[in-house]
Chain A
Amino acid sequence: SQKIEQNSEALNIQEGKTATLTCNYTNYSPAYLQWYRQDPGRGPVFLLLIRENEKEKRKERLKVTFDTTLKQSLFHITASQPADSATYLCALEGSSNTGKLIFGQGTTLQVKP
């Protein structure tokens, strides 16, 4: 069956450290994978998109990797800050060229000062 999985347990780290979140998928062949941030009571906000032919993408303190062999994406936040505390969702295209996204359940990150 098709699945997209993120760590359901919250990730707690100290301010200044690097946070690494994992997204694994099975039985999909996505052309791209996206990461969104969601704050409590708010809608998700797009952060980064990485395509299947890209190994790594960076945006400021954010870095995403995409390994189509392992069927895994890693999302890194360097020099983390308490303001980075939120739930992070990964999403991939469920079927080719449909624009339909399949979301993981999200991982909650808590950055402690």
Chain B
Amino acid sequence: DADVTQTPRNRITKTGKRIMLECSQTKGHDRMYWYRQDPGLGLRLIYYSFDVKDINKGEISDGYSVSRQAQAKFSLSLESAIPNQTALYFCATSDTLTEETQYFGPGTRLLVL
């Protein structure tokens, strides 16, 4: 089984809808991250969490919120989806002790119509 899983893998939604992307990990890592990837722009950090009680904004957090329900679960919500949030979303984890390396999930492809 994959160490970092994301659901759903693909999602089509309409402008104005609220949606949630979920991430689960079995690596036992304390740090979790949400990125979005757009063609030509690379990966950009949306939010990150270093433990259950620690949530931090990344460089592009506007329009997004997150919830760290447990050490193993980190959810990303789009409160009111808009077309320019169409992108590939990745969850990643890392361990405080070996903090540098990040382990990525398979991604969620989101289309906002």
Contacts and interface: CB of A to CB of B under 8 A. Distances in A.
Interface of A: 8, 32, 34, 41-46, 49, 89, 91, 93, 99-106
A104 B37 CA distance: 11
A106 B101 contact: no
A103 B99 contact: no
Majority SS at the chain B contact face = strand
Contacts of A89: 42-43
B104 A45 contact: yes
Interface residues of B, number: 26
B76 to A, nearest CB: 15
B22 to A, nearest CB: 15
B85 interface: no
A46 B102 contact: yes
12 contacts: A41-B109, A44-B102, A46-B101, A49-B100, A99-B31, A99-B48, A99-B94, A100-B45, A100-B48, A101-B102, A102-B45, A103-B43
Interface in B29-52: 31, 35, 40-45, 48, 50
A8 B101 CA distance: 24
Contacts of A106: 42
Contacts of A100: 45, 48, 58
A62 B31 CA distance: 28
A103 B105 CA distance: 16
A100 to B, nearest CB: 6
Given A43-B105, A46-B103, A103-B42, 6 more contacts: A34-B100, A43-B107, A44-B102, A89-B43, A100-B45, A106-B42
B74 interface: no
Contacts of A99: 31, 48, 50, 94, 96, 99-100
